[in-house]
Amino acid sequence: MSALVAPPTLSVQQPADSSFLLFTVTFTARYAPHEIGRQFARSCAFFESDAGEPFGGDDDHITNTPIETYFPSSAEHTERFFVEIHKDLLDTESGGEEIYAIVHWRPANETVSQTARTSELPIAV
Ligand SMILES: [Ca+2]
Ligand SMILES: [Ca+2]
How do residues 55-113 score in pLDDT, each as one tens digit? 667 899 999 999 999 999 999 999 999 999 999 999 988 899 999 999 999 999 999 99
Domain that holds residue 68: 3-123
In this predicted structure, what is the pLDDT of residue 56?
62
CATH number for the domain that contains residue 15: 2.60.40.10
Ligand nearest to the Cα of 51, by number = 1
Sign of CA dihedral 98, 114, 45, 23: positive
As a whole number of angstroms, the distance between CA 67 and CA 75 comes to: 22
Domain count, the chain: 1
pTM of this structure: 0.92
* 20 Cα to the center of ligand 2, angstroms: 14
As a whole number of angstroms, the distance between CA 108 and CA 39 comes to: 6
* 103 Cα to the center of ligand 1, angstroms: 20
Residue 61 burial (CB < 10 Å; 0-12/13-18/19+)?
exposed
* 125 Cα to the center of ligand 2, angstroms: 5
Ligand nearest to the Cα of 95, by number = 2
Cβ–Cβ < 8 Å for 84, 12: no
* 48 Cα to the center of ligand 1, angstroms: 6
Ligand nearest to the Cα of 123, by number = 2
Residue 88 burial (CB < 10 Å; 0-12/13-18/19+)?
exposed
* 49 Cα to the center of ligand 2, angstroms: 12
